[in-house]
Amino acid sequence: MSLLEIKNACLKLDNKNILNGVSLSINSGEVHAIMGPNGSGKSTLSYMLAGRDGYELEEGEILLDGISLSEMEADERARSGLFLAFQYPVELPGVGGMSFLREAVNSRRKFLGEEELDHLAFVKEARKEASKMHVKDEMLKRAVNVGFSGGEKKRFEILQMAMLKPTVSILDETDSGLDVDALKIVSDGVNAQRNNDNAIVVITHYQRLLDYIIPDFVHILSDGVIIKSGGPELALEVEKNGYSGLINAA
């Protein structure tokens, strides 16, 4: 059974068709890349999966580990194991990084029937994971994403992913705004979490990220439908010929 199953997803925003029947089946242990030009519906797809208000499906169905997400709010989806790394992580002035992480992790643990971590155990765990992502203690004391550089924001997203141990992670343009060094740190963080029990969906414009996070499958999204799927070589084709060639051929 697929870990994430998207069946004929159709969605309108302001009466405009954005997703026009996206279907995708993702098995555990797999990494899928979704590529597409601006306005192809990539970010809409990620918001729809995460359950953002206003991004409800007109038609189709999403199954996470066999369970339909359509009746679930965003927070339930997250507790069930879905994670979205934001393209633009949101600043939360006044919300300390450590207490934010703890709130998130304990929500997930409660759902899984695990005991909530006490303060000390949590801080220890958070520091361990943070050091892997080159996130300094001082950053965890600050308000979430406030005054963080582009790279820090993305590293903090992947740190959350590491702490929450989701079954399916969607990384929405995680490479945007990153320099080469930061890209490597973030990619290493993602790769460290690849295992046979989870799946990762990488959404990106560019092939560059896929040099670091090597996908099993690449899909091209255009005008709200997947027009072509293939292996990593498809990303190289995009890099060489651009999206227009593929779109015209489709």
Partner 1 sequence: MQHSIKDDYINSIKNYTNQFEDTNFRRIACNDFKSWPSPREETWRLSRLGSLSRKKIKPINPNLKKNNNNTSTLIGSTIIHFIDGAYREDLSSKLPSGVNLSVLSDSEGLKYLQKIKKSNLSDHPSTNVSLSCTPSIMKLTVSKDTKVKDFIQIIYEGGEDNQSVHPVLYLELEKNSSLYLIERFNHLTSLAMPLQLIELRNKASLNSIKIFNDNEKTYNLSANCVYLSKESYLNSFSLIKGGIFTRSETHAYLNGCNAKLNLNGVYISCNKQHHDLTTAIYHDVPDCTSKQIVRGVLGGKSTGVFQGKVRVAQDAQRTDGQQMSRAILLSDTASANAKPELEIYADDVICAHGATVGELDDDQLFYLNSRGVPMDKAREILIKAFLEDMINQSVDNSLHDFVFKEAELALSSIITKEIF
Q: Residues in the site for partner 1, rule: CB under 8 A?
A: 50-53, 73-75, 78-79, 83-84, 86, 89-95, 100, 103-104, 107-108, 111, 143, 160, 164
Q: How far is the CB of 221 from partner 1 (least distance, A)?
A: 21
Q: How far is the CB of 29 from partner 1 (least distance, A)?
A: 23
Query: Which residue's CB is nearer to partner 1, number 3 or number 164?
Result: 164
Burial class (CB in 10 A: 0-12, 13-18, 19+), 165: middle
Query: Which residue's CB is nearer to partner 1, number 59 or number 91?
Result: 91
Contacts of 20 (CB under 8 A, 6+ apart): 10, 223, 224, 225
Q: How far is the CB of 111 from partner 1 (least distance, A)?
A: 7
CA distance 152 to 185: 10
Query: Which residue's CB is nearer to partner 1, number 123 or number 143?
Result: 143
Q: How far is the CB of 47 from partner 1 (least distance, A)?
A: 8
Q: How far is the CB of 169 from partner 1 (least distance, A)?
A: 12
Contacts for 65-72: CB closer than 8 Å, 24+ residues apart: 65/1, 65/3, 65/4, 65/167, 66/1
CA distance 138 to 99: 13
Query: Which residue's CB is nearer to partner 1, number 159 or number 238?
Result: 159
Query: Which residue's CB is nearer to partner 1, number 77 or number 219?
Result: 77
Please name the residue ranges forming H helices in 115-222. Answer: 119-132, 137-141, 150-164, 180-192, 208-212
Query: Which residue's CB is nearer to partner 1, number 14 or number 233?
Result: 14
Q: How far is the CB of 4 from partner 1 (least distance, A)?
A: 16
Residue type, 144: V
> What are the tokens at 38?
């601006």
> What are the tokens at 63?
């199954």
User: Shortest CA distance to 98 belongs to which of 70, 68, 127?
Assistant: 127
